[in-house]
C-alpha cells in the first residue's frame, strides 16, 4: 500500500473502504514524469461547467478548486516517462469524486485527439465515481465522445494504457476506462461498475467483500497486473517498449539465415514414427510456452486480462520480443508436473480473441503457440456454446489483418488446436503433431477401443513430416533427438526461427500477405489422402 502525506505528497489522497491511503493526481504526476517534463494543457478548461455553474454547484466547484489546486477533476498534458514521450490523462478523486462533466470530457477528448494527431501513446490514470450528478444527463452523455476519441486513437494503431486507481466506478469504467491495450490497477483499489453504497441503495443488499478489489480482478482476468504507484513508471516503460514500434526490424542478415538453416529439418521425408512423436510430446519435462519465452525470446511480459472476466490458467497471452521484433504471443501452457493436461475451453478462447484484437489494433505480429490434447469436454462447455466460440476464433485467425505465425510446439489435438492454427507462416517442432482427435479417440471411433492408437497415429498423416508434405507446415525445427533432452538448445533454435520469420512477415505488404494466406488455406482442398 502507498501511504503518502496529503500535503507533502503534492495533492489530496482518497481513502479506500479499509482506511488505506491512495495517491492523488499531483503526487502521481511527480512519481510518473521525468523531472520537469510535464506540460499541462489547462487552456481547454475554460467553458461550460466552470463558467455557467451557479448556486450550490458553483460553490462546490470553487471549493474543489481551492482544495485540490486543480481547475477540474482531471489533469492532461504532455510528459516523458523514462524518456518516452506520452500524453497523460490523470483523474483527481478529491475533486468532486473525480466525476465526469462536460468540461472534464472536453479536456480529455482534446488530449486524446492531440495524442492521435501527434501519434503519441496515451496513459490514462483514472479514479472516478462516474458521471457528475450536478450536470445530469449532459454529463452522462460525455461517455460517448470520450469512448469515440479513444476508439479513433486505437484505430490509428497507437497505444492506450490504463491505470485504474481507487476508486474507479460507473460510466468511466464502463467506457474509456476499460479499453486499455494494457490495464494496470492500484493495490487495494475498488474497481466496479457500481460502488457498494449505490448497490445497497438500489438493491438492498451488499456485494461480497473484496469482489471489487484490484487483486480480485487480476485473478479473474479483468486487469493485467496490480502495480504500486512507485513502480508504475517502470511498468509503463516496459509495456510501451513492446507497443511503440521502435523495436521492429525489417531486414535479415546472412548470419540470421545461416543460423536458422542449421536448425531446420530439410528433408520432408525424414523418418519419424508418428506414435513415437505422440509419446514424446506427452513427456512432462517437454518444453512448453513458458520455456520457449524464457530461452527463445529476448524478453516477455505476461498479460493477465481476458477482457471477459474469466481467467484461464492453461492459456496465456504475452507481449514478447524475438531478437528485436516485438509481437503478441498467445498459446497453451503446459501443466505443472503431476497436473492434468490443459484442454482448451470457452474462457481460453476469449483470451485468444483478446490477443488477436490486441495484435490487430497495434499492428503487431501475432505468434500462436499450440500444445494441447484437445478441447474441453463438459456440460458447461456445451451450455455456453463451445463449438460456436471455436468457430468464431477460427474465423478471426483466418481473417486477422496482422502478420500471423503459428508454432506447433507439441500436441495438436482437435478443436483445441485448429482454431489457433491458420497463419501466414506455420512452424512445427520435429515431434509435434496435428490430428482431429488424440490417437486413442480416433481408435475408439474406428475400432471401438483405444487399443489401436499407435496404428491410427501412423495411418493418419499427423506428424510434422506429413504436415509439411501436405503444405500445412512451412518449416520443421529439429529436435536432437528430443526437445525434452535439450530444452535450452531447442528453445533457442525455435526462437531464432520465429525471429527470422517475423522479420519477413512484418516487411510484407498487408494485402498481398493476406491474399497468400487465403490461397494457402483454400489450396488445402486439393490435398490427397494419406499414403502408406
pLDDT tens column, 183-198: 999 999 999 876 555 5
pLDDT computed for residue 385 by the predictor:
84
Check if the beta carbon of residue 180 is closer than 8 Å to that of residue 124. Answer: yes
Distance of CA 179 to the CA centre of its chain: 11
Give how far Cα 116 sits from Cα of 8, 87, 156, 513, Å: 35, 10, 7, 27
- Give me 8's grid cell: 507533502
pLDDT computed for residue 262 by the predictor:
86
Average pLDDT over the chain, rounded to an integer:
86
> What's the pTM value of the predicted model, to 2 decimals?
0.89
The whole-angstrom separation of Cα 110 and Cα 88 is: 12
CB atoms within 10 A of CB 511: 9
Check if the beta carbon of residue 479 is closer than 8 Å to that of residue 486. Answer: yes
DSSP string computed for 55-111? HHHHHHHHHHHHHHS-SSSEEEEEEEETTEEEEEEEE-TTTGGG-B-HHHHHHHHHH
User: What does the pLDDT look like over 149-183, one tens digit per residue?
Assistant: 999 999 999 999 999 999 998 889 999 999 999 99
- Is 280-481 a domain of CATH 1.10.10.10? no
- Give me 122's grid cell: 496515451
Length of the chain: 532
The whole-angstrom separation of Cα 5 and Cα 11 is: 9
User: What does the pLDDT look like over 486-530, one tens digit per residue?
Assistant: 999 999 999 999 999 999 999 999 999 999 999 999 888 876 666
Read off the DSSP letter of residue 286. Answer: S
- Give me 483's grid cell: 526437445
Q: Which residues pair with 372 in a beta bridge?
A: 412
CB atoms within 10 A of CB 455: 15
The beta strands (E) that lie in 170-228 are given as: 182-185, 191-192, 225-226
Can you identify the CATH homologous superfamily of domain 14-243? 2-enoyl-CoA Hydratase; Chain A, domain 1 (3.90.226.10)
Check if the beta carbon of residue 81 is closer than 8 Å to that of residue 31. Answer: no
Percent over 70 (pLDDT), the chain: 84
Check if the beta carbon of residue 44 is closer than 8 Å to that of residue 106. Answer: yes
The whole-angstrom separation of Cα 404 and Cα 99 is: 42
Q: Where in the chain is the domain with CATH 3.90.226.10?
A: 14-243, 280-481
Mean pLDDT (whole number) for 110-119? 97
The whole-angstrom separation of Cα 318 and Cα 303 is: 5
Q: Nearest 5 degrees, angle CA 439-CA 440-CA 443?
A: 85
Amino acid at each position: 500500500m502507498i501511504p503518502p502525506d496529503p500535503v507533502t505528497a503534492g495533492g489530496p489522497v482518497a481513502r479506500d473502504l479499509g482506511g488505506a491511503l491512495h495517491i492523488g493526481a499531483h503526487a502521481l504526476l511527480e512519481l510518473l514524469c521525468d523531472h520537469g517534463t510535464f506540460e499541462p494543457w489547462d487552456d481547454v478548461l475554460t467553458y461550460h461547467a466552470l463558467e455557467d455553474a451557479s448556486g450550490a454547484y458553483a460553490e462546490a466547484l470553487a471549493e474543489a478548486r481551492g482544495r485540490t489546486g486543480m481547475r477540474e477533476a482531471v489533469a492532461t498534458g504532455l510528459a516523458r516517462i523514462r524518456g518516452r514521450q506520452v500524453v497523460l490523462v490523470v483523474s483527481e478523486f478529491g475533486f468532486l469524486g473525480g466525476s465526469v462533466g462536460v468540461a472534464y470530457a472536453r479536456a480529455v477528448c482534446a488530449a486524446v485527439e492531440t495524442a492521435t494527431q501527434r501519434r503519441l501513446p496515451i496513459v490514462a490514470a483514472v479514479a472516478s465515481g462516474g458521471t457528475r450528478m450536478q450536470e445530469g444527463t449532459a454529463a452522462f452523455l460525455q461517455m460517448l465522445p470520450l469512448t469515440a476519441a479513444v476508439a479513433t486513437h486505437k484505430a490509428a494503431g497507437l497505444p492506450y494504457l490504463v491505470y485504474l486507481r481507487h476508486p474507479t466506478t460507473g460510466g468511466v469504467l464502463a467506457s474509456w476506462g476499460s479499453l486499455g491495450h494494457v490495464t494496470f490497477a492500484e493495490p487495494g483499489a475498488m474497481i466496479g461498475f457500481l460502488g457498494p453504497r449505490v448497490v445497497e441503495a438500489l438493491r438492498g443488499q451488499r456485494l461480497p467483500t473484496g469482489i471489487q478489489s484490484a487483486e480480485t480482478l487480476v485473478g479473474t482476468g479483468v486487469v493485467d497486473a496490480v502495480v504500486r504507484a512507485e513502480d508504475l513508471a517502470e511498468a509503463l516503460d516496459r509495456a510501451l517498449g513492446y507497443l511503440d514500434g521502435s523495436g521492429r526490424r525489417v531486414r535479415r542478415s546472412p548470419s540470421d539465415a545461416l543460423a536458422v538453416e542449421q536448425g531446420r529439418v530439410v528433408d520432408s521425408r525424414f523418418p519419424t514414427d508418428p506414435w513415437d512423436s505422440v509419446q514424446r510430446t506427452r513427456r512432462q519435462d517437454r518444453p512448453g510456452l513458458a520455456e520457449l519465452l524464457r530461452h527463445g525470446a529476448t524478453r516477455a511480459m505476461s498479460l493477465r486480462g481476458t477482457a471477459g472476466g474469466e481467467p484461464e490458467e492453461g492459456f496465456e497471452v504475452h507481449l514478447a520480443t524475438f531478437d528485436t521484433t516485438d509481437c503478441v504471443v498467445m498459446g497453451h501452457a503446459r501443466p505443472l508436473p503431476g497436473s492434468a493436461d490443459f484442454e482448451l475451453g470457452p474462457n481460453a478462447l476469449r483470451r485468444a480473441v483478446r490477443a488477436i484484437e490486441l495484435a490487430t489494433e497495434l499492428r503487431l505480429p501475432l505468434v500462436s503457440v499450440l500444445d494441447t490434447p484437445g478441447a474441453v469436454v463438459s456440460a458447461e462447455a456445451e451450455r455456453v456454446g463451445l463449438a460456436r466460440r471455436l468457430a468464431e476464433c477460427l474465423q478471426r485467425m483466418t481473417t486477422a489483418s496482422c502478420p500471423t505465425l503459428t508454432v506447433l510446439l507439441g500436441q495438436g489435438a482437435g478443436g483445441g488446436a485448429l482454431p489457433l492454427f491458420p497463419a501466414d507462416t506455420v512452424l512445427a517442432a520435429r515431434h509435434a503433431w496435428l490430428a482431429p482427435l488424440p490417437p486413442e479417440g480416433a481408435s475408439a471411433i474406428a475400432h471401438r477401443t483405444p487399443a489401436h492408437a499407435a496404428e491410427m497415429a501412423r495411418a493418419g498423416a499427423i506428424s510434422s513430416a506429413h504436415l509439411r508434405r501436405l503444405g500445412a507446415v512451412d518449416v520443421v525445427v529439429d529436435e536432437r533427438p528430443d526437445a525434452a533432452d535439450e530444452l535450452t538448445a531447442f528453445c533457442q533454435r525455435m526462437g531464432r526461427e520465429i525471429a527470422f520469420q517475423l522479420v519477413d512477415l512484418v516487411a510484407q505488404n498487408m494485402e498481398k500477405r493476406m491474399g497468400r494466406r487465403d490461397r494457402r488455406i483454400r489450396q488445402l482442398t486439393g490435398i490427397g489422402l494419406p499414403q502408406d
